Amino acid sequence: MKAADSLPANPGASLPQRQVALIDLLDRLLGSGVVLTGDIVLSIADIDLVRISLRALIVSVSGQHPAPWVSGAPHPPTLP
Amino acid sequence: MTGPYLAYTYAVALDSEGLRHVVATLPGVAASQVHLVQSTSGGAVVAAVSPVPAAEFDEAALRRHLEELPWLEEVARAHHHVIEEIAARTTVLPLRLATVYLDDDRVRAVLDERQDAFLDRLARLAGRLEWGVKLYVDAAAAPPPPPPADLGPGRAYLRHRRVEQDLRQDGYRAARTAAERIDAAARLHAVDHVRHRVQQGDLASEPGANVTNDAYLVPVEQAEAFRAAVIRSTDGLPGVRVAVTGPWAPYSFAAPEQEEESAP
């Protein structure tokens, strides 16, 4: 290994391996982090549609909750 | 026309010594092998890519798969693993799940075209990590006291409801105080903030009602101070709980401007 491997090229080197909650991961992988729109896949609008239907699915699994974001509006904060 | 394979793209990153070795041993989504794609000029920005079967990742297949939770979880975790391994070695811009190009040449073209924008964004993220902060109001912080025995069932019910509502109101008030303390900590230690939707539904397995779901971008050297302040934010506040996740690669801060407006 070269010396550079042992240097903290980025202090992020301490990211521990762990099992994260899927919902936290999906918030990040679907809810943010677009830098690029791929070729094949899906315009931005389509991705939003996927996200919305996916969110609806995740909520509908539990049954009764309406999906407040179906309109496309961010969920309102519930703090009074 | 698409070939049998497509180029699944995980991240754009600053090239660094040793990154190639690390990536060469990384399993990607669909058990594919990850590799780095460079820009034509061989510049400092690279993309992590792996070949995935078109039959599983073309548009029609993706539409279908993205609704299947087991498939989604497998791909999300594989994607995340690649991001974590890269983030441990260099500054990374994580891409959204299922960012797929026709082939490596198309990825290279995007690197060529957007190199300066990527470099700007990477410079902003260097030495910073994302922390997740979620506030929960505990629905049953303290069991309501039993109503006096001389109340009829109707009045006892109403009394019970009122006590429950009061407790919940107390919980929300406490959550607002905690949120203000977190905001103060963020002013001291964080450089950016994104608000995610509150978590609900079957996957939201933590107890209580999630009332805020935020991400903060924090310089690595301030991480401990920030985390400690956030954890202290609920001190002395019954009925409210804070959950900190991270450190994350800067998923929520990879896009130059936020797509989702902060909630008012």
Amino acid at B46: V
Q: How many domains does chain A have?
A: 1
Boundary residue ending a domain (B124, B150, B175): B124
Q: Which of B166, B147, B180, B183 has the alpha carbon at shortest distance from B239?
A: B166
Q: Residue A71: its pLDDT value, please?
A: 32
- Domain identity same for B138 and B198: yes
Residue of A nearest to B177 (CA): A79
- Rounded to a whole number of angstroms, the distance from the CA of B56 to the nearest CA of chain A is 12
Query: What is the rounded distance in angstroms from the CA atom of residue A52 to the CA atom of residue B227?
Result: 32
Contact B175, B169 (CB under 8 A): no
- Domain identity same for B114 and B137: no
β-bridge partners, B48: B11, B36
Query: What is the rounded distance in angstroms from the CA atom of residue B250 to the CA atom of residue B93?
Result: 7
Q: Residue B156: its pLDDT value, please?
A: 83
- Domain identity same for B132 and B119: no
Residue B23 lies in a domain: yes
Residues of chain A with Cβ-Cβ distance to B204 below 8 Å are 23
- Rounded to a whole number of angstroms, the distance from the CA of A53 to the nearest CA of chain B is 8
CB-based contacts of B60, cutoff 8 Å, min separation 6? none
Nearest to A79 among B179, B196, B247 (CB): B179
- Domain identity same for B88 and B180: no
- Domain identity same for B25 and B116: yes
Mean pLDDT (chain B) is 88
Question: Per the CB < 8 Å rule, is B201 touching A61?
Answer: yes
Question: Per the CB < 8 Å rule, is A21 touching B205?
Answer: yes
Q: Which of B13, B174, B191, B180 has the alpha carbon at shortest distance from B89?
A: B13
- Domain identity same for B117 and B169: no
Query: What is the rounded distance in angstroms from the CA atom of residue B34 to the CA atom of residue B216?
Result: 29
Residue B169 lies in a domain: yes
Q: How many domains does chain B have?
A: 2
Residue A24 lies in a domain: no
Residue B214: φ, ψ to 5°: -120, 160
Residue A19 lies in a domain: no
Average confidence (pLDDT) over B28-34: 95
Amino acid at B93: L
Residue B141 lies in a domain: yes
Other C-beta atoms within 10 Å of B230: how many? 25
Please give the ipTM for the structure prediction: 0.86
Strands B209-219, B92-94: pairing is: unpaired
Strands B45-53, B92-94: pairing is: unpaired
Residue B263 lies in a domain: no
Q: Model confidence at A34, in pLDDT bands (50, 70, 90)?
A: very low
- Domain identity same for B135 and B249: yes
Q: How many CA atoms lie within 13 A of A47 on its CB side?
A: 23
Residue A46 lies in a domain: yes
A9-22: pLDDT as tens digits? 444 444 455 689 98
B-contacting residues of A 23-62, CB under 8 Å?
Answer: 23-42, 47, 50, 53-55, 57-62
B75-112: pLDDT as tens digits? 999 999 999 999 999 999 998 888 888 899 999 998 99
Residues of chain B with Cβ-Cβ distance to A77 below 8 Å are 195, 198, 211-212, 263-264
- Domain identity same for B112 and B29: yes
Q: Residue B227: its pLDDT value, please?
A: 96
- In terms of residue numbers, what domain contains A56? 36-75
Full-model pTM: 0.78
Average confidence (pLDDT) over B180-192: 94
Query: What is the rounded distance in angstroms from the CA atom of residue B218 to the CA atom of residue A43?
Result: 31
Residues of chain A with Cβ-Cβ distance to B73 below 8 Å are 22
- In terms of residue numbers, what domain contains B111? 5-124
Q: Residue B145: its pLDDT value, please?
A: 62
Other C-beta atoms within 10 Å of B166: how many? 11
Residue B262 lies in a domain: no
Residue A5 lies in a domain: no
Residue A6 lies in a domain: no
Residue A40 lies in a domain: yes
DSSP code of residue B27 = B
Q: Is A70 on the interface with B (CB under 8 A)?
A: no
- Domain identity same for B203 and B102: no
Q: Which two tokens stand for residue A38?
A: 């791929």
- Rounded to a whole number of angstroms, the distance from the CA of A18 to the nearest CA of chain B is 10
What CATH number corresponds to the domain at position B244?
A: 3.30.70
- Domain identity same for B205 and B107: no
Boundary residue ending a domain (B124, B142, B171): B124
Residue A42 lies in a domain: yes
Using H for helix, E for strand and C for coil, what is the string for B92-139? EEECCCCCEECCHHHHHHHHHHHHHHHHHHHHHHCCEEEEEEEEEECC
Q: Which two tokens stand for residue B83?
A: 């991001």
Boundary residue ending a domain (B95, B124, B153): B124
Question: Per the CB < 8 Å rule, is A20 touching B245?
Answer: yes
Residues of chain A with Cβ-Cβ distance to B82 below 8 Å are none
Residue B71: φ, ψ to 5°: -65, -45
Nearest to B197 among A12, A31, A35 (CB): A31
Query: What is the rounded distance in angstroms from the CA atom of residue B200 to the CA atom of residue A58?
Result: 9
SS3 B251: helix
Q: Which range, of A40-54, B95-109, B116-130, averages the lowest pLDDT?
A: A40-54
Strands B45-53, B209-219: pairing is: unpaired
Average confidence (pLDDT) over B17-42: 93
Residues of chain B with Cβ-Cβ distance to A58 below 8 Å are 69, 201-203
Mark residue B98 as left, alpha or beta (left: phi above 0; alpha: psi -120 to 50; beta: remaining): left
- Domain identity same for B35 and B109: yes
User: Using CA atoms in the order B121, B182, B197, A64, what is the torsion angle rounded to 10 degrees?
Assistant: 160
- Domain identity same for B146 and B75: no
Q: Residue A73: its pLDDT value, please?
A: 35
Q: Which two tokens stand for residue B238?
A: 């019954």
Residue of A nearest to B22 (CA): A5
Q: Model confidence at A45, in pLDDT bands (50, 70, 90)?
A: very low
